[in-house]
Structure 1
Amino acid sequence: MQNKKIFILLPDGIGLRNFAYSDFQAIGLKENFDVIFWNNTPFDLTELGFKEIRIHNSKSNPFTESYKNARKQIELNLNIRKTQDRVYDTYRFPFSYATVLKAGKSLFTQMVSFTHSSKYGLNRIREKIKNKERRTLYYHKSLETLQKEKPAMVFCTNQRPMSAIAPLLAAQDLGIPTATFIFSWDNLPKATMVVETDYYFVWSDLMKKELLFYYPYILESQVVVTGTPQFESHFDKSKLISREDFFEQNNLDLHKKYICYSGDDVTTCPDDSKYLEDVAVAVRELNKNGNALGIIFRRCPVDFSDRYDKVLKDYQDVIVPIEPLWQKIGEGWNTILPTQIDIDLQMNTIANTEMVVNLGSSMVFDYVAHDKACAFINYDVTDKKISDWSVKKIYNYVHFRSIPNLETVLWINNPDDIVSIIESGIDKKSSVIEGAQEWFKIINQHSPQEASKRIWEGIKVIIYKE
């Protein structure tokens, strides 16, 4: 009898949205898989009715972090040599020297990346990471769990966390097939691959091409194109509440139409509060000319700063903040975790707003899933918070090169343009909607609502083949 026990490895909370708060688990059960979440998050998934095995003491080797950081630097160096494109330098984070320990780690990382910036050197670092992790208690505990449970496959929800290395190594050492899902549309050019698995599940043919380009040791036969569950919720109309209920719950004015301003984190957009103010000024002007418009401000879920406070107070006549319903477990950005109710809140926010304004995020795809337009901010403010930051850096990132030769978003190139851009965006016949739909098809396998089904089909093929 075919073993259909599948371990869904959740090394951190990033994968919760795609694999716990979607129909992914229900589809697996319907296909008669025994779905068990190997859970390294603080969330108790049994409360959702899921089977789980909790991971305890997921501590990596003390040197793994430095080698992982060196690997990133080496991969970016090799990408620059391969492409003659300096864009990969923009994916580096500054080294920290705030404490003796941090300074030591930074110097070690720089030394290793300097002495190993070759294909041969990269392979040595990849092996060092594996050897270090095999010496940990975490690895041996993972072996024990896998030997006891004997799953047919271990599927990791995110390729980035260091905490995923040991359990995936343990599975491979026992001959259990492994796979990882590439989490986001911009991850591969950034050199965020931390784990190495037998199979890789990606969003699109474009992402498959990127994966094979940046990681030439991966074979085409190891890549499965499925799309992402990230957008599936937008096609489940049962989660929508009435306009009246949504407006009442969020203190909105039924006589107004709203646009959404979707905030970025501080690193991505340090001047975001000024951009929000510029949009608020434009909405006030539109309202003076006979419109009845408002702004719903949805901040980035991992941004708890006070940088918007003054703007929200000064423009409370037009801006209504609706806070994301994420749960803060710790201080790091990856310990602020999504919840099921926030997915429903986001979906209803999109359904009840006319368009979205932001700085270059994937919200363009969330909105076009509802046949609504997106406007991208594309100018620098006069009084910048960080002198060398620019929107040009953001839109030069590799993932924006996937934009087709069509009008896909409304570009706000000057604050004086915002009034006319909003007028265009709330027009249901806006030409950018069709262009954005074409872009959506490039970055995510269609039909988008079938992603979880395609992932399970891929898992089925692998375990029967193995």
Structure 2
Amino acid sequence: MEKFIAAEKKKGLWKIYYPLICQLAKLAATNIAWIDKIDNLLNKQYAKNPAAPALEALLRQTKPDVILCTHQRVPQASTFAEVCKKLDIPFVTAIFSWDNLPKSRIAPQAHKYIVWSSYMKREMEWYYPTITQEDVIITGTPQFECYAKRALHQPKEEFLEQWNLPKDKKLVLLSGNDMTSPNDHYYFEDIADAIMQMPEAERPHLILRRAPVDASGRFDAFAMKYASILTTIDPLWTNPKSEKDGFASLPTFADVALLTNLCLHCDLVVNIGSTMGLDFAHFDKPAVYINYPKPYNADWYDIDFIYGLEHFRTLDGLDAVLWIKSKSDIVRVIQAGLNTPEAVATQRNEWKRKLTDDIPNASENIARLLLQLATDKKNNQ
């Protein structure tokens, strides 16, 4: 598809195709019957995927009782789901993040859908009215379970020593996004510049954590330039060769512990609208969202558009995060988050509860559901 787009752009035909596709998509989006027809047509094509026969043979050989898909946005999962449907194998998919439902369609048609909370279940009803509510199961999310595991918590002195971090400084985590947020390194340079202007005794120390799937190298020059006030601690994921291999990049148990201790021992996180605001809320610590324009990549990237996305409406009416709305805000906002964390973003826990229902033992809840589906399948045979 990318090669097709590049070729058509060269021909100039893209100027005709793209607006036409957008108009057709807008028209189809107003009618749920049309959306269902398109979904069904797509799934018929996925069932004809050349990989389907080999996949069917594998499933006939292994005879699984139930399949759990943990990434419902991967198009290849639709072929898997169609083969499972043919073989009468329950196919369960998880909605794995707070922004998944409003930002894109679920790729596979599943037997059951696992969601974080009652809020997410209501979203499912809104976006997918033809899916029965009985097939949408609230289990909680395993994403934040690690934070409650005391065995993962390092003593702070040990953590500081391991990463050669200063013992007399507060710590600010700069959490990068993937390349769909292309200006992170420019924003982080603004942050570091502002920190450098503070009196040395008041300066926090910065920690940079790149997005696990960001293989771009765009932070390298930034990290070298500000090495006196910044430490890079990279994610311990299986690394893709490039951003395009991101779906093949997987977390390790070591990184689960690392992220847990970054959230535990850093005092503040700065980011452009990512889930890290929720991660820090689990430790009752404030998050800062950067929200002012940059001239870079302006032809396709608009920060106002980003924060206008539907999932950010969960923040409406809540004082849940701090906002940097201009370069001149940086020092004031960061100092407020560091010096009076209890007085800022005071409703961060309400935001967290709204999205997660604070449901404990999500992994066990999911396991029980899978076992029940497997038992039901055997009993019905």
In 1, Cα distance between equivalents of 2:251 and 2:264: 20
Q: Corresponding residue for 2:24?
A: 114
Q: Does 1:98 align with 2:9?
A: no
**8 A Cα contact 2:68 2:92, kept in partner:** yes
Shift of 1:367: 0.7
TM value normalised by structure 2? 0.86
Shift of 1:230: 0.8
1:100/1:274 Cα in 2 relative to 1: closer, same or farther (>3 Å)?
Answer: closer
In 2, Cα distance between equivalents of 1:401 and 1:184: 15
Aligned residues between the structures: 370
- 2:163 is matched by which residue type in structure 1? N
Matches within 5 A, 1:46-57: none
Q: Corresponding residue for 1:291?
A: 202
Q: Does 1:455 align with 2:366?
A: yes
Q: Corresponding residue for 2:135?
A: 222
1:45-92 per-residue CA deviation (whole Å, 9 max, x = no partner) reads: xxxxxxxxxxxxxxxxxxxxx7xxxxxxxxxxxxxxxxxxxxxxxxxx
Matches within 5 A, 1:418-429: 418-427=330-339, 429=341
Matches within 5 A, 1:349-428: 349-381=262-294, 383-387=295-299, 389-427=301-339
In 2, Cα distance between equivalents of 1:172 and 1:179: 11
1:145/1:376 Cα in 2 relative to 1: closer, same or farther (>3 Å)?
Answer: same
In 2, Cα distance between equivalents of 1:145 and 1:267: 35
In 1, Cα distance between equivalents of 2:325 and 2:42: 45
Shift of 1:191: 2.5
**8 A Cα contact 1:404 1:438, kept in partner:** no
Shift of 1:387: 4.8
1:434/1:133 Cα in 2 relative to 1: closer, same or farther (>3 Å)?
Answer: same
Structure with greater helix percent: 2
- 1:421 is matched by which residue type in structure 2? V
1:194/1:387 Cα in 2 relative to 1: closer, same or farther (>3 Å)?
Answer: closer
SS of equivalent to 1:312: helix
SS of equivalent to 1:337: coil
The more displaced of 233-242 and 353-362 is 233-242
Shift of 1:446: 1.4
SS of equivalent to 1:98: helix
Task: Give 1:278's match in structure 2, choosing from 180, 186, 190.
Answer: 190
Shift of 1:203: 1.1
Q: Corresponding residue for 2:109?
A: 196
SS of equivalent to 2:293: coil
- 1:235 is matched by which residue type in structure 2? A
1:100-133 per-residue CA deviation (whole Å, 9 max, x = no partner) reads: 6999999699669839935444333333333333
In 1, Cα distance between equivalents of 2:221 and 2:103: 34
Matches within 5 A, 1:306-385: 306-331=217-242, 332=244, 333-381=246-294, 383-385=295-297
Task: Give 2:354's match in structure 1, choosing from 442, 448, 454.
Answer: 442
In 2, Cα distance between equivalents of 1:227 and 1:273: 33
Q: Does 1:248 align with 2:165?
A: no
1:435/1:112 Cα in 2 relative to 1: closer, same or farther (>3 Å)?
Answer: closer
**8 A Cα contact 2:196 2:203, kept in partner:** no
**8 A Cα contact 1:255 1:292, kept in partner:** no
Q: Does 1:174 align with 2:82?
A: no
SS of equivalent to 2:174: strand
**8 A Cα contact 1:202 1:226, kept in partner:** yes
1:380/1:113 Cα in 2 relative to 1: closer, same or farther (>3 Å)?
Answer: closer
**8 A Cα contact 2:215 2:240, kept in partner:** no
1:96/1:353 Cα in 2 relative to 1: closer, same or farther (>3 Å)?
Answer: farther
Matches within 5 A, 1:116-265: 117=28, 118-265=31-178
Shift of 1:401: 0.5
Shift of 1:349: 1.5
Shift of 1:307: 3.0
SS of equivalent to 2:263: helix
In 1, Cα distance between equivalents of 2:304 and 2:158: 40
In 1, Cα distance between equivalents of 2:330 and 2:206: 13
Aligned CA RMSD, in angstroms, stands at 3.0
In 1, Cα distance between equivalents of 2:214 and 2:265: 23
| Structure 1, gaps ≥5 residues long | 1-65, 67-93
- 1:250 is matched by which residue type in structure 2? W
In 1, Cα distance between equivalents of 2:298 and 2:120: 32
SS of equivalent to 2:198: helix
**8 A Cα contact 2:322 2:345, kept in partner:** no
**8 A Cα contact 1:226 1:445, kept in partner:** no
**8 A Cα contact 1:159 1:180, kept in partner:** yes
SS of equivalent to 1:99: helix
1:436/1:135 Cα in 2 relative to 1: closer, same or farther (>3 Å)?
Answer: same
1:462/1:377 Cα in 2 relative to 1: closer, same or farther (>3 Å)?
Answer: same
Shift of 1:243: 2.3
1:407-449 per-residue CA deviation (whole Å, 9 max, x = no partner) reads: 10111122222222122212464234541111111111313x4
1:152/1:108 Cα in 2 relative to 1: closer, same or farther (>3 Å)?
Answer: farther
- 1:130 is matched by which residue type in structure 2? N
The more displaced of 246-255 and 437-446 is 246-255
The more displaced of 145-154 and 167-176 is 145-154
**8 A Cα contact 2:285 2:341, kept in partner:** no
In 1, Cα distance between equivalents of 2:300 and 2:46: 39
TM value normalised by structure 1? 0.72
The more displaced of 106-115 and 249-258 is 106-115
1:365/1:112 Cα in 2 relative to 1: closer, same or farther (>3 Å)?
Answer: closer
